[in-house]
């Protein structure tokens, strides 16, 4: 399983390398007073990245897949956590810090363990309120406040 | 002014009451973070960069930087120590540098001597901290004076050497480590080029003009990556926690561990100076050394106190030694120091030879705070060790989501935009999958931090040489660095071809 990931990732890294090489073609090749332009470094690195990915691909296809004893995994829990975190990141500015964080924490606690949801809700709300008021009022920091549609 | 008076000034900075408080908070948080399952020293420090930024917001810039770096260094030492706590009590090392500690530490815990092992580890770390402090005081000035004679070509080659060293030792596959390094440097080219002012790879997207923020990437890769890993793997059950027992070591314990602590500290310090080698390798070496020197090598692995004292002092001394190339040359030699360097850069403080003349307060304050921090670790940990052992039992149901929330809060507090939050999640997922398949993450972060500096120096050197690449080979020092870099990459390959086992550091 490990070498399959290596082969896929080497293809992805090759594509990233090709992208940087191709796109550095559109960056100026010289700078004022210098023959060395801002395109040189990404161009060189892109080529290096492609070469290294090819080597990785070669290594991965030569090596036999070894079966490692992997710990039991829970794909659904990982995916739901990633999606949840992503949603949290996207809606935070719109919903405001306190609301989005309480909601995120509550859902995340619930995903981890479905019992004791009353306690989870308490912890979620108190964490977000505490962080918000300490940071915004105490330390004069900036966090998205309460949403406009609530007022 | 002489070195001593600079150092005294440094102590004046470190002993200011707010800095004492920061060091205390740093060590306290660091130890808790190190003890908690799922966050290592690197993610701990990455997570606390934004928190330290907001804590020091009210201070003038120079003092804010000094205080923040004192706090972060405290977290670093604390987390290293916390990692040993779990390896002694639980047989699960918190980070790779305390893997060796489990061998004898857990055995001691099983015999009911966990408290002694923990306090010897703290004493060893303290002595090691002092050794590396003395080393820093003596090496800082001459090294930074040497570094001032470097031109851009030398700098370029020295940084290439640093990157090669880290990649050569940084994981199971050198190809993967090099790939990560190059990828990190490529990511660093996104944004406005600070030599010519040309925008690169930005495609008129406003948030891309300032480049990918180092902090976001580091927090995502290390902190979120580790959380996702713990969430994904359900089957892991932690064992029973050993009882701490008597904390104060007996006179016999102290006598037995004095030698190992002294040797471990010296060995660790010198290994720490080398880029890429770091804490893991030094703890491993010092354990082997003690076993060789011991009159009773058969006792190792069965609860010998020297087997805890030596590696614990060595890994702490190495983390002190690793500060030297960072502070004097401006070149981080490990993932951890790369993160500290990123933090310094956030405060507009450029580590390097000029640090000692431009920002003596920060440089010497940090050096002095290493001493203060280690003293605090000692004072804090002896009585509080039982409390820290309790932290291990924090239910992960609450812990993991709160770590995510703190990461998101930290990144938003510094960056104040949604793009960085999305980038954070992307880096978290990428970090998890990459590290799961043995792609080391430290070289990526190192590449991201060093990329712009390497590029600047390369272009400055090439500009003075009219685009002639041989300048890197015609300057003798630069040639030497490049040769060393080449050897660092080539030798392990040759050794491996011969079929020998290569000692590989797995410090992520």
Residues 6+ apart with CB under 8 A from A41: B189, B455, B458, B459
A12 and A44 share a domain?
Answer: yes
pLDDT(B504) > 50: no
- Residue A41: inside a domain: yes
A89 and A132 share a domain?
Answer: yes
If you search the block for the tokens 């314990």, which residue do you land on?
Answer: B253
- Residue A70: inside a domain: no
DSSP chain A: -HHHHHHHHHHHHHHHHHHHHHHHTTS-S-BTTBS--TTHHHHHHHHHHHHHHHHHHHHHHHSPPP---PPPB-HHHHHHHHHHHHHHHHHHHHH-HHHHHHHHHHHHHHHH--S-HHHHHHHHHHHHHHHHHIIIIIS------S-GGG-
pLDDT(B502) > 60: no
In chain A, the residue whose alpha carbon lies closest to the alpha carbon of B426 is A86
Is B116 within 8 Å of B108 (Cβ atoms)? yes
Mean pLDDT of A121-143: 87
What's the pLDDT band for B236 if we cut at 50, 70, 90?
A: low
Q: Does the beta-carbon distance from B235 to A135 stay under 8 Å?
A: no
Q: Does the beta-carbon distance from B400 to A112 stay under 8 Å?
A: yes
A111 and A144 share a domain?
Answer: yes
Q: Measured between alpha carbons, how far is residue B225 from residues B260, B449, B481 in Å? A: 36, 19, 34
d(C-alpha B297, C-alpha B288), whole Å: 10
Q: Which of B:121-180 have CB within 8 Å of A?
A: 173, 175-176, 178-179
Asked if B476 reaches chain A (Cβ–Cβ under 8 Å), the answer is no
pLDDT(B420) > 50: yes
For residue A68, the model assigns a pLDDT of 59
- Interface probe for A, chosen from B59, B175, B228, B429 (most Cβ of A below 10 Å), is B175
Distance from the Cα of A150 to chain B's closest Cα (Å) equals 21
Burial of B149 (0-12, 13-18, 19+ CB in 10 A): exposed
- Interface probe for B, chosen from A8, A52, A54 (most Cβ of B below 10 Å), is A52
Distance from the Cα of A109 to chain B's closest Cα (Å) equals 6
Determine the length of chain A: 151
- Mean model confidence pLDDT for chain B: 83
- Domain span at A21: 2-62
Q: Measured between alpha carbons, how far is residue B503 from residues B85, B171, B319, B351, B496 in Å? A: 25, 10, 19, 31, 10
Q: Does the beta-carbon distance from A104 to B185 stay under 8 Å?
A: no
Question: Chain A residues with CB inside 8 Å of B233's CB?
Answer: 71-74
pLDDT(B506) > 50: no
Is B244 within 8 Å of B389 (Cβ atoms)? yes
Between A and B, how many CB-CB pairs are < 8 A? 175
Mean pLDDT of B334-360: 83
Distance from the Cα of A95 to chain B's closest Cα (Å) equals 12
Distance from the Cα of B498 to chain A's closest Cα (Å) equals 17
pLDDT(B238) > 70: no
Is B162 within 8 Å of B325 (Cβ atoms)? yes
- Interface probe for B, chosen from A34, A56, A132 (most Cβ of B below 10 Å), is A34
Q: Measured between alpha carbons, how far is residue B10 from residues B7, B66, B135, B273, B364 in Å? A: 5, 10, 16, 22, 4
d(C-alpha B315, C-alpha B129), whole Å: 10
Please tell me the total count of domains within chain A: 2
Q: Measured between alpha carbons, how far is residue B15 from residues A15, B19, B123 in Å? A: 53, 6, 21
pLDDT(B289) > 50: yes
For residue A49, the model assigns a pLDDT of 95
Q: Which of B:264-283 have CB within 8 Å of A?
A: none
A104 and A135 share a domain?
Answer: yes
Taking the C-alpha atoms of A65, A66, A71 and A74 in order, what is their torsion angle to the nearest 10 degrees?
10
Backbone angles phi, psi at B199, to 5 degrees: -85, 130
Compute CA A72 distance to the chain's CA centroid, rounded to the nearest angstrom: 23
For residue A85, the model assigns a pLDDT of 95
Nearest by CB to residue B189, choosing from A41, A55, A88, is A41
Asked if A92 reaches chain B (Cβ–Cβ under 8 Å), the answer is yes
Nearest by CB to residue A82, choosing from B54, B398, B425, is B425
Asked if A41 reaches chain B (Cβ–Cβ under 8 Å), the answer is yes
Asked if A129 reaches chain B (Cβ–Cβ under 8 Å), the answer is no
Separation of first and last alpha carbons in chain B: 40
What's the pLDDT band for A69 if we cut at 50, 70, 90?
A: low
Return the domain boundaries, chain B.
3-497
A50 and A93 share a domain?
Answer: no
Q: Does the beta-carbon distance from B186 to A16 stay under 8 Å?
A: yes
DSSP A62-106: HSPPP---PPPB-HHHHHHHHHHHHHHHHHHHHH-HHHHHHHHHH
Nearest by CB to residue A81, choosing from B185, B231, B412, is B231
Looking from the CA of A124 toward its CB, the CA atoms found within 13 Å total 21
- Residue A11: inside a domain: yes
Question: In the numeric block, which tokens belong to residue B238?
Answer: 């932690």
A15 and A57 share a domain?
Answer: yes
pLDDT(B170) > 80: no
Compute CA B160 distance to the chain's CA centroid, rounded to the nearest angstrom: 19
Most confident of A47-51, B218-222, B302-306: A47-51
pLDDT(A31) > 80: no
> Among the three residues A10, A41, A62, which one is the final residue of a domain in this structure?
A62
Nearest to residue B97, comparing CAs of B284, B246, B286?
Answer: B284
Burial of B500 (0-12, 13-18, 19+ CB in 10 A): exposed
d(C-alpha B311, C-alpha B102), whole Å: 10
Mean pLDDT of A38-57: 92
Asked if A69 reaches chain B (Cβ–Cβ under 8 Å), the answer is no
Question: Chain B residues with CB inside 8 Å of A122's CB?
Answer: none
> Among the three residues A62, A88, A109, which one is the final residue of a domain in this structure?
A62
Asked if B3 reaches chain A (Cβ–Cβ under 8 Å), the answer is no
For residue B507, the model assigns a pLDDT of 39
What's the pLDDT band for B54 if we cut at 50, 70, 90?
A: confident
d(C-alpha B237, C-alpha B229), whole Å: 14
For residue A44, the model assigns a pLDDT of 92
What's the pLDDT band for A151 if we cut at 50, 70, 90?
A: low
For residue A11, the model assigns a pLDDT of 93
pLDDT(B270) > 70: yes
Q: Does the beta-carbon distance from A85 to B198 stay under 8 Å?
A: no
State which H helix or E strand residue B200 sits in. strand B199-200
Nearest by CB to residue A49, choosing from B186, B428, B463, is B186
For residue B430, the model assigns a pLDDT of 94
Q: Which of B:209-268 have CB within 8 Å of A?
A: 224, 228, 231-236
Asked if A18 reaches chain B (Cβ–Cβ under 8 Å), the answer is no
Residues 6+ apart with CB under 8 A from B42: B95, B218, B222, B335, B336, B339, B442, B508
A56 and A20 share a domain?
Answer: yes
Determine the length of chain B: 508
A51 and A92 share a domain?
Answer: no
Q: Does the beta-carbon distance from B401 to A112 stay under 8 Å?
A: yes
d(C-alpha B253, C-alpha B262), whole Å: 14
Asked if A61 reaches chain B (Cβ–Cβ under 8 Å), the answer is no
For residue B187, the model assigns a pLDDT of 93
A95 and A121 share a domain?
Answer: yes
**Assembly ipTM:** 0.92
Rg of the Cα atoms in chain B: 22
A81 and A124 share a domain?
Answer: yes
- Residue A126: inside a domain: yes
pLDDT in tens, B453-487: 899 889 889 888 888 888 899 888 899 999 988 88
Please give the residue that has the higher pLDDT: either B414 or A34. Answer: B414
DSSP, collapsed to helix, strand or coil, labels residue B6 as helix
Bridge partners (DSSP) of residue B192 are B199
**Helices and strands (H, E) in chain B, number of each type:** 22, 2
Looking from the CA of B178 toward its CB, the CA atoms found within 13 Å total 23
Distance from the Cα of A149 to chain B's closest Cα (Å) equals 19
pLDDT in tens, A77-131: 899 999 999 999 999 998 999 999 999 999 999 988 888 888 899 999 999 999 8
Q: Does the beta-carbon distance from B437 to A113 stay under 8 Å?
A: no
Distance from the Cα of B493 to chain A's closest Cα (Å) equals 13
Bridge partners (DSSP) of residue B35 are none
DSSP B110-131: HTT-HHHHHHHHHHHHHHHHHH
For residue A98, the model assigns a pLDDT of 93
Asked if B287 reaches chain A (Cβ–Cβ under 8 Å), the answer is no
d(C-alpha B316, C-alpha B272), whole Å: 9
Burial of A50 (0-12, 13-18, 19+ CB in 10 A): buried
- Residue A21: inside a domain: yes
pLDDT in tens, B134-157: 888 888 878 888 888 888 899 899
For residue B237, the model assigns a pLDDT of 54
- Residue A68: inside a domain: no
d(C-alpha B278, C-alpha B299), whole Å: 27
Q: Does the beta-carbon distance from B405 to A38 stay under 8 Å?
A: no
């Amino acid at each position: 399983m490990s070498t399959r990931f290596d082969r896929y990732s080497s293809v992805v890294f090759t594509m990233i390398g090709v992208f940087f090489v191709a796109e550095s073609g559109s960056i100026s090749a010289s700078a004022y007073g210098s023959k060395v332009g801002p395109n040189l470094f990404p161009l060189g690195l892109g080529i290096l990245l492609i070469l290294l990915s090819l080597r990785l691909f070669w290594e991965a296809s030569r090596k036999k897949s070894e079966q490692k004893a992997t710990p039991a995994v829970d794909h659904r829990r990982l995916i739901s956590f990633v999606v949840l975190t992503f949603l949290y990141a996207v809606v935070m500015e719109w919903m405001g810090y306190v609301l989005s964080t309480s909601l995120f924490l509550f859902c995340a606690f619930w995903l981890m363990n479905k019992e004791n949801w009353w306690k989870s809700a308490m912890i979620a709300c108190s964490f977000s309120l505490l962080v918000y008021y300490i940071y915004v009022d105490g330390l004069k920091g900036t966090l998205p406040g309460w949403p406009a549609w609530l007022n | 002014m002489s070195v001593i008076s600079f150092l005294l000034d440094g102590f004046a900075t470190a002993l200011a009451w707010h800095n004492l408080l920061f060091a205390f908070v740093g060590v306290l948080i660091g130890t808790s973070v190190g003890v908690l399952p799922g966050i290592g020293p690197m993610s701990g420090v990455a997570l606390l960069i934004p928190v330290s930024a907001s804590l020091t917001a009210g201070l003038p810039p120079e003092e804010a930087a000094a205080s923040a770096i004192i706090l972060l260094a405290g977290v670093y030492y604390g987390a290293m120590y916390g990692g040993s706590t779990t390896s002694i009590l639980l047989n699960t090392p918190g980070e790779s540098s305390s893997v060796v500690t489990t061998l004898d530490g857990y055995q001691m815990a099983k015999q009911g001597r966990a408290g002694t092992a923990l306090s010897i580890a703290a004493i060893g770390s303290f002595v090691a901290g002092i050794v590396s402090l003395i080393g820093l005081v003596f090496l800082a000035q001459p090294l930074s004076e040497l570094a001032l004679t470097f031109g851009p070509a030398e700098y370029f080659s020295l940084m290439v050497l640093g990157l090669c060293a880290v990649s050569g030792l940084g994981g199971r596959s050198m190809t993967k480590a090099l790939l990560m390094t190059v990828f990190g440097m490529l990511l660093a080219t996104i944004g406005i080029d600070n030599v010519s002012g040309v925008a690169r790879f930005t495609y008129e997207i406003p948030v891309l003009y300032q480049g990918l923020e180092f902090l976001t990437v580091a927090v995502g890769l290390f902190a979120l990556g580790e959380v996702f890993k713990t969430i994904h793997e359900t089957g892991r059950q932690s064992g029973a926690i050993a009882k701490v027992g008597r904390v104060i070591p007996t006179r016999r314990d102290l006598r037995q561990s004095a030698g190992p602590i002294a040797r471990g500290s010296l060995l660790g310090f010198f290994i720490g100076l080398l880029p890429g080698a770091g804490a893991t390798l030094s703890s491993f070496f010092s354990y082997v050394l003690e076993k060789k020197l011991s009159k009773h090598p058969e006792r190792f692995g069965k609860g010998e106190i020297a087997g805890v004292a030596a590696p614990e002092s060595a890994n702490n001394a190495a983390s002190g030694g690793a500060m030297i190339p960072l502070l004097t040359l401006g070149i981080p030699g490990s993932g951890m120091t790369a993160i500290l360097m990123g933090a310094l850069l956030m405060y507009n403080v450029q580590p390097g030879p000029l640090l000692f003349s431009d920002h003596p307060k920060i440089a010497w304050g940090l050096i002095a705070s290493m001493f203060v921090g280690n003293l605090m670790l000692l004072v804090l940990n002896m009585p509080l060790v039982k409390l820290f052992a309790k932290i291990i039992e924090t239910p992960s149901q609450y812990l993991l989501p709160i770590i995510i929330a703190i990461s998101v809060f930290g990144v938003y507090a510094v960056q104040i935009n949604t793009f960085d939050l999305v980038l954070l999640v992307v880096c978290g997922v990428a970090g998890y999958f990459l590290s799961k398949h043995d792609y080391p993450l430290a070289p990526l972060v190192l590449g991201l931090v060093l990329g712009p500096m390497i590029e600047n120096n390369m272009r400055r050197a090439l500009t003075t040489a009219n685009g002639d690449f041989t300048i890197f080979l015609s300057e003798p020092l630069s040639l030497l660095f490049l040769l060393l870099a080449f050897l660092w990459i080539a030798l392990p390959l040759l050794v491996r071809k011969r079929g020998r086992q290569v000692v590989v550091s797995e410090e992520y």
